[in-house]
Amino acid sequence: MDFNKNRYMWITAICIILVSLLVIVVHKNDLMLGSLSKLDNDDVRYIRSGKHLLETGQLIYYNPTTSLSAFIMPGLSLIIAGIMWIFGTGDIGMFAFRMFQVILTAASAIFVYKITEYIAGTKTAKIAITCIALYVPIYYVADLFLTEAFFTFTLTGMTYQCLLALNKNRGRDYVWLGLWIAAAVYFRPTAALFPLTIGIIWLFQRRGIVYMIKNTLILSVTIVICLSPWWIRNYQVFHEFIPLTNSSANPYLLGMLIFEQEPADFIKHYPDLYNAWSHGTEEEQKALANKIFAFQIKHHPISFISWLLFGKLIRLIIIPFYWTPVLGIPYVAAGAVHLILLYFGVAGVISLVKKRNRNGMILCAVMAYFIVVYLPFFTFERYFYPTMFLLISAAALGVQQYGPPLRDKWNRRFNRKTAA
């Protein structure tokens, strides 16, 4: 990329890196969700998993010595192990990991800039990357040992590559798109069905049957080759085909509970079943979730469907993933910025749909997939954090179109009050 042509983009990305570095230096391990001695949260379990993988070559998650795991996708553990192989397992290794995440966060911001530029031009792209830099949760997430920063990088890269593939119609672009999708799956299994979204886009764009078959084969072969080491490993360890993880039952079961509360009516009818299966095997928890779903649809259809379609959606998007303040910035301030960006993001999406912006519709399709795919499961703000980067791209368009009229409206009100 030409530095002079993209000067603002590069300067903003460097600012993101510098502020993130300041957060790392100031907070050290203060932002960690769990305790390294108690292993009581996802981040410290990932650290332990990476260290164990480095030392033994075995992927574990909960039990460090006896249980090989397919509970998680291996991407983050592999990255942690690789960085600690170079920099050690102590403080230097942890600092190096955080710095790697910082670089990926800045790269994600650059991808948002390029996505927005592709859709709406350079001026809107500058607004987008500025909004990313002002979005405080990025500095919080870059300090954590979680999949969010890595998945955000793969999601934004995948979205940009999706725009290239759907516009340039070259086979090699679909190879790259397959690589991006596979990389995303290694961090979040929810990306696995994303090719279906591409197929829907092809249908809406009325692509030819030969075009769709050819590029479906390219995508499929690329993704299968990339994921086959994981499949082989799982078959060797568990003697069964596990395409992604064997941990979807618990999030699915939690997703059937309104506001995460135990279903009192269901328990009244099936107390023994609930007590036996709620902490049972993967298959038992899935079966219990299906029974709760059928029971709720039969006895409480309106409240349950409202929860599935709207309650869980609001729970997913309404608050930022910002559990501990960084650099003294309060949660209220981060939450206010989040809500403002949501407002302009929705306005931008509506504008793209109204104008039938071809590339904008692709962006909307990607966002829609990564919202809808979580609704059957337990939803909370961590899962929406990566998609927020894409929504900020739409928010930039909303700011550009609706910001000046809103500013003028407030100025007129202020002037009238002053005159009075």
pLDDT of residue 412: 61
pLDDT the model gives residue 16: 98
Euclidean distance between CA atoms 151 and 146, whole angstroms? 9
The pLDDT value recorded for residue 259 is 80
Among 178, 172, 160, smallest CA distance to 221 is for 178
The C-alpha atoms of residue 274 and residue 279 are separated, in whole angstroms, by: 9
**C-alpha to C-alpha distance for 177 and 65, rounded to whole angstroms:** 37
Q: Phi and psi dihedrals of 281, rounded to 5?
A: -75, 175
User: Taking the CB of residue 242, how many other CB atoms lie within 10 A of it?
Assistant: 14
Map tokens 């574990």 to a residue. 60
- What is the pLDDT at residue 47? 94
> In Å, how far are 223, 249, 272, 317 from 266, measured between CA atoms?
41, 18, 11, 29
Residues in the chain where the model's pLDDT stays below 50: none
Give the residue extent of every domain in the chain. Answer: 7-247+300-419
pLDDT at site 282: 79
User: Which residue in 388, 346, 384, 78 sits closest to 229, CA to CA?
Assistant: 78
